[in-house]
Amino acid sequence: MPRFLAAQPDARLIPLPWHLPLEQWPNDVLVALPRGISRHVVRFIQVGSEVFAAKEVLEGSAMHEYRMLTDLNRLRAPAVEPSGVVSGRVDAHGSPLDSILLTRHLQFSLPYRSLFSTGVRRETVSRLIDAMVVLLARLHLTGFLWGDVSLSNILFRRDAGEFAAYLVDAETGELHDTLSDGQRLHDLDIAVVNLFGEFSDLKEGRMLDEQLDPLALVKQIETRYHDLWQELTGVEEFAGSELSRIESRVRRLNTLGFDVAELDIQTSPTGETIRIQPKVVDAGHHSRRLLRLTGLDTEENQARRLLNDLDTYRAQNNLSHTEESVAAHQWLMNAFEPVVTAIPPDLAGKREPAQIFHEVLDYRWYQSQRERREVPLTEAVQGYIRDVLSALPDEVISSEMISPLGEQRQLVNPLDPSQGFVDDQDMPVDPWEAEAYAPGTEVLPDHLDIDALRRRAGR
């Protein structure tokens, strides 16, 4: 009898055919969702409306990864959520089978190959790199040494005009109280070697913009990582007359999406020099604020965009003196909800609600520019549904979008969706991708450009 280890067991998993090697599981319990390249057999299992990723691995590895993922989730690091380990499996002849690690399928996530298969622009690659750098820095802040940083071990979710990256493979990870510089740099070295290889493969497969050079891309990762780490943890020293620099540092960190929980401030005996260093920084500055005000749980840049819209809403509706939480409630009822409820149910699975709202704001901006008038949100959402949402390729990323294997477009290999669809060559262009960087687009500031932040803050 197999043994189930889980914090919150799901009884519906018990009757599944655990006596079969994962490769031989029947189609009716599997679903085809995009998946990255992996050494182990990985399949997506559907029970009810839940989808789990199942990975067949040695028991020791499965247990280790389960614990690592549990710790990372407890520390609120961006990682897939573990659901359990099934061990002690035997086949019909009594021969032992490897254990299975179960994680919750990360909704609306995309492995990099699905992103690249439709062709990505140069700016998009830059955004993916920023997302990876933030992920690595956040993991290092929590004391997590990854040991296997690579594109295949990361999942991306759309986050307004940016991307948010999640760790998907923690098999080689170690959790420490803090990491030494040597440990962090070792992780970064691994990232550079792996990513260079993966970017080179993409280039060979003509999936990377001709003008992008894999070596320059990994150099960009190194530079951005060092800049971000310095900003998050570095010591800053200045004259006692420049006290506003304390505030500037905190603001810059907020703009990068971090809150400073502890700032160490030391003054020289005579108060001539001041030395500051952030000791504890937490990611999610904007998403926490939006959650507190509206109850919406979103990615960081989506939150930033929604909070900006909330500010505009307050200004336009004379709510500047109304308490923020009251104004936020009105915005939720009169701006956000009407857009989300206007989306026909059959299209709702294509994007998360916060992402839809962000894209509708972009759409309205375009339309207003084109027609030289203030287009109301309720009108823009109809245009967005017609021109953008209905035309989006099915990314098959959320449970609303999936159907059992076999009822979908024909896969090259039905049991290995990462190989893509037979008619992949004719993949439609993602109009959001195409629109997002058209000339004159209102794009979010390049939030990891720390020099630009300093310039803006006057330092």
Ligand X SMILES: Nc1ncnc2c1ncn2[C@@H]1O[C@H](COP(=O)(O)OP(=O)(O)OP(=O)(O)O)[C@@H](O)[C@H]1O
- Rounded to the nearest whole angstrom, what is the least distance from the CB of residue 352 to ligand X in the complex? 15
Question: Is 115 in contact with 129 (CB distance < 8 Å)?
Answer: no
> Per rule CB under 5 A, is residue 418 in the interface with Mg ion?
no
- Rounded to the nearest whole angstrom, what is the least distance from the CB of residue 169 to Mg ion in the complex? 4
Closest CA to 19 of 127, 95, 123: 95
Nearer to Mg ion, 46 or 152 (CB): 152
355 makes contact, choosing from ligand X, Mg ion, none, with CB < 5 to 8 Å by partner type, with: none
In degrees and rounded to multiples of 5, residue 149 shows phi and psi of -70, 125
Nearer to ligand X, 155 or 356 (CB): 155
In degrees and rounded to multiples of 5, residue 437 shows phi and psi of -115, 20
- Rounded to the nearest whole angstrom, what is the least distance from the CB of residue 449 to ligand X in the complex? 29
Strand partners, 303: none
Stretch in the footprint of Mg ion (CB under 5 A) among 3-11, 38-46, 116-124, 420-428: 38-46
Q: What is the dihedral of CA 217, 129, 433, 167, to 10 degrees?
A: 140
349 makes contact, choosing from Mg ion, ligand X, none, with CB < 5 to 8 Å by partner type, with: none
C-alpha span between 201 and 215 (Å, rounded): 12
Binding mask 150-169 for Mg ion (x = CB under 5 A): ---x---------------x
Nearest residue by C-beta to ligand X?
Answer: 36
Residues at the site binding ligand X, with contacts judged by CB under 6 A: 35-36, 38-40, 42, 53, 55, 80, 103-106, 109, 111, 152-153, 155, 168-169, 171
* Residue 318, Ramachandran bin (φ over 0: left; ψ between -120 and 50: alpha; else beta): left
DSSP 115-150: HHHT---HHHHHHHHHHHHHHHHHHHHTTEE-S---
Question: Is 444 in contact with 303 (CB distance < 8 Å)?
Answer: no
Q: For residue 66, with 0-12 CB atoms within 10 Å meaning exposed, 13-18 middle and 19 or more buried, which class applies?
A: buried
35 makes contact, choosing from ligand X, Mg ion, none, with CB < 5 to 8 Å by partner type, with: ligand X
- Rounded to the nearest whole angstrom, what is the least distance from the CB of residue 112 to ligand X in the complex? 8
352 makes contact, choosing from ligand X, Mg ion, none, with CB < 5 to 8 Å by partner type, with: none
Question: Is 260 in contact with 253 (CB distance < 8 Å)?
Answer: yes
Q: Give the torsion sign (CA, 313, 315, 318, 321).
A: positive
111 makes contact, choosing from Mg ion, ligand X, none, with CB < 5 to 8 Å by partner type, with: ligand X
Residues contacting residue 129 through CB under 8 Å, at least 6 positions apart: 217, 220, 221, 224
- Rounded to the nearest whole angstrom, what is the least distance from the CB of residue 7 to ligand X in the complex? 16
171 makes contact, choosing from ligand X, Mg ion, none, with CB < 5 to 8 Å by partner type, with: ligand X
- Rounded to the nearest whole angstrom, what is the least distance from the CB of residue 413 to Mg ion in the complex? 18
Nearest residue by C-beta to Mg ion?
Answer: 169
Name the pairing type of β-strands 82-87 and 174-175: unpaired
Strands (DSSP E) contained in 161-300 are 162-167, 174-175, 236-239, 258-267, 273-283
Helix (H) or strand (E) holding 4, with range, is strand 3-5
C-alpha span between 356 and 385 (Å, rounded): 10
- Rounded to the nearest whole angstrom, what is the least distance from the CB of residue 37 to Mg ion in the complex? 7
- Rounded to the nearest whole angstrom, what is the least distance from the CB of residue 147 to ligand X in the complex? 11
Nearer to Mg ion, 171 or 352 (CB): 171
- Rounded to the nearest whole angstrom, what is the least distance from the CB of residue 102 to ligand X in the complex? 9
Stretch in the footprint of Mg ion (CB under 5 A) among 34-42, 191-199, 213-221, 390-398: 34-42
42 makes contact, choosing from ligand X, Mg ion, none, with CB < 5 to 8 Å by partner type, with: ligand X
Nearer to ligand X, 41 or 276 (CB): 41
Stretch in the footprint of Mg ion (CB under 5 A) among 37-45, 83-91, 158-166, 311-319: 37-45
Q: How many CB atoms lie under 10 A from the CB of residue 216? A: 10
> Per rule CB under 5 A, is residue 109 in the interface with Mg ion?
no
List contacts with Mg ion (CB under 5 A): 38, 153, 169
